[in-house]
Structure 1
Amino acid sequence: TAPVFASVSDMEIYCIDAGNYKVVSEWLASVTAIDNCDSEVEISTNADMETLDISCINPGMTTITWTAVDNSGNTAQVSAMLTIHDNRIPTFGDVVDLIVECDGMGNNEDFNMFLNQFIIDDPDVDMNITLTETPGCGLTKTILVTGTATYGNELEVTAFATFQIIDTTPPVVIAPEDITIEADENCEWNALPEITGTSEVIDLCSEESSMDESIMYSDDVEDLGQGMYLITRTWTATDACGNSASDQQVITVTGGNAPPSLVLNEIDIYLTEEGQWTLNRWNIEDLTRGSVAGCGTGDLLTYTFSNRYFDCSSVYAPEEITVTATDTYGNSASGKVLINVFDTISPMAFCKDTTIYLDENGQAFIAPGAINMGGDRASVPAWARHFNDLEGGSIDACGIAYMELTQQLFTTENIGANQVTLTVYDPSGNFATCEAIVTVIDTLRQPNYEEGEGTYPESSEGVAEEEASNPGNSETDTNGQTDSEQESETTSETDNTYVITGTVNTTFGDGEVLPNGTIEVILMLDGTVVATTVTDEEGNYLFEGLTAGSYEVIVINEEDNQENVVAVTVDSENPVASQVNVVVVTVRENAIVTSSVEFEDGMELQVYPNPTQGQVRIDLAGSRFRQAEVTVYNVLGAMVYRQSFSTSSDIVVDLTSQSSGMYIVKVDSEGTTATRKLILDRK
């Protein structure tokens, strides 16, 4: 006969209640059974508290089965249902309304920050956010955000908050420039805006062109006598949200109608440091002093010139120009006059320290160009001209005519640091100086050391004679070695010849890698320059005859003056270090890298802001192009962005997903290409 269970009831619990573990444990242990022949019936279940999941992640019903076995092997089973209810309720944090000032671009950053307060950081929570938008004045609006959250049960919570964009900023009113107009012989004039100009209004929170109809003006007229009047015109504009602003324009009215009397005076002008000069109003006043209009004053005359722009090419002889004076009725008179152009601005001299090595004759010669800085194109103004058209170094708007160096020949007497002065002259004889240190090194001769100082003998015979005449100078150090033994060890170490060789390559913005020929390569050991060389046309370089040590191979990028450094060690285990290659990131020689890039047909490409924190705008000013493809490369030449745009809309490139650094922006439009360097600074 099988055992008989006592009655068993189902169990229901709520997952977040305290004490569930104890309740379920006692329920599992509460089931009993009796047997007619066995007083201690063995009872087991298909679940225990170690395997049974009663947490909130396992809601629902679980069948629990108990099995009773008596000592004769007779069995009986009984089952009950364990129900776990999920009674969790999500909780929002503090959800508050937010009011922000209109930025004209939707206040996206503010809105994203506002939405963050609806986020519940629990992966088990199901969330839903709905937006109800109500337009306001101009570009303002109110957005009602409703957030609902649940754990998937019937218990749902809701939170509300309002995001409001308001406009309390007045528009910016820009009145036309002050103007002078002429009255006719009856002192009548036309001062309508079609003649004197219309105000411009800028308002961030208004649709484009929507402010045009809000512009109004009022005039205050003052009679100055003799046909002259002063009109003070006040321009006022009010935006859709009721904010208003104003600006004033002064219109001077004067009378007259007669041919002008033109008087021209020879004048002197002086070029700026950029090597340019454009006739300004003071020059024009000096040039035309004494000229008068037939009616009224000379202020009524306007002047045109056959040439107003002068540069270095105008310095060497007076330049004759033609001046035409025209009154407001179109009457004119012309004449010729000489302009004397002078350049009195001194060049800017830039020196660099250098290291030279004596030859087998104990001599070394350097040209002034070795001291001229050079190689720093990025820091040179666009107007500057260099010596022999070299990039970087000493500059002058009119060019460097020639350079002088106080010392060019160096011998063994100059070993060590030597101060020299470089003098640079422009074509007008203006000059500037700078000083540099020339370090002279003799690597072909071994020094004798006397009383702690190295001296260089005149010949190898001198070395032998010195050693022979001082046989008693051999001293023993604390390790028992004589000077000659130590010198023998040093010589054995330096007798080894080590080699470092490699290639300098250039990678352009489009990812193409090319050899970089005739570029200077610097070799440093322990922070000291030990050798320099220049690559061949294939970009290869070679340093040989080196001692063992850890070196740095350095190539300076002329575009941004950044060092490209490769570390390498040569020793007895690695006597020849080959494939020590250097890659310089740059843009192509014909790429335009300025604040605004001009295409061949005169149109401009502007990339701004630069540097940027992420979003970049591209403007094709005055463009005839209809389509443009924008490609962005990182400093390794890898493409990180490409997209085509219609030039009829704003071109915005989003680089917020990229890391900080230098990028190359390339714009291709209908067969025309321009390239721009861009700095991304993710603050």
Structure 2
Amino acid sequence: VITRTWSLTDACDNTTSFVQTITVVDTTAPTFTSTLPGDIDVECDEIPDAEELLAIDNCGDANVTFVEVIDNGACVGDYIITRTWTATDACDNSTVHTQIITVQDSTPPALVTPFDENVTAACDDIPEVPNLVFEDACSTDIEVTFEEVTTQANDFEDYEIIRTWTVVDDCGNEAIFTQNVSVEISNVINTFDSSFCILDTEFDLFDLLSGDFNMNGIWSVVSGDATINGSMFDPSTVEVGIYTFMYSITEGSCPTEVEVNVTIDDDCVVLACGQDNVVISKTVTANGDNYNEFFTITGVEDCGFIIELQIFNRWGAKIFESSNYQNNWNGNSNNSSVGSSDKVPTGTYYYVINLRNSGLEPFAGPIYVATDK
């Protein structure tokens, strides 16, 4: 309260007074002089520090107080921050400013440890699964799920290993990290096909392989009527032909398999194919007793010759001819020189035999034929 008094006095000390009373009342609140922060939406790692606000009052000093309240949401990274600044003067007049900060976790966890996303490795040098470390800006509650799948269809072809880490934070934000390992089958086995004679002795199938491989696998017969004893094969136990064998390594991290072809021939066999080995019938008695029924040429069956045969009667007329004779002539005639009968008359006839591709001179001689004609 302000009291103002005015007094008037004359020369004789007569006095008159006037009093004014002023009552001062403070009803005006302070005013903030700082820029007031507005409402915002932020990630949990982007929350700004609380600002220090200043205020003035028209009647004196203003005191600014600050209060922060957090209301939790559905997950650790979602919540609301309410910040309140109150400016109060000496007469308890106050001004309030409130800032609402909505915190939302929409960022998935991040990888801390580096790793190679694409790796090429030999089958015996596949890298271990890396120990990955993850972090989240809003939560330490991180769920990590690891899965490893392979495209391996068999033991003998290159394949892929796909390693996947699925990382989820408390608010359900998900991140996926993948490593692809390209696995190369490194067992290199070189094979070479070979030929052996049917008279050769037993040999080791490993002699047909070369390269960097172990010998703990299994040999098997793929085609051909053959038997093996481990890796040992005896050509003398089979027929002439081509035989296929497989060597398989199925144990360990580098399985593989290869095939090798072995040709068995009879080139080493010396056949009796000379002129002295040819045996020619002397007599044909086509009477059904199964003895000397046919004119036969034997002794060179395994020589690969083609027999060309001509039969003539004593007058030089050709009564039979074959360009690929099969030991089947029993006195029949394919020539009209013997009349209407299909058999030649009993008598002496003459043959001419040519062994095609033999290099031998033709054979010629008599043959007695008895046909009851």
Tell me the TM-score range normalised by the shorter chain.
0.3 to 0.5
Greater gyration radius: 2
Normalising by structure 1, what TM-score? 0.24
Query: Which has a greater percent of helix?
Result: 1
For CA contacts below 8 A with separation 6 or more, give which structure has more relative contact order: 2
Normalising by structure 2, what TM-score? 0.40
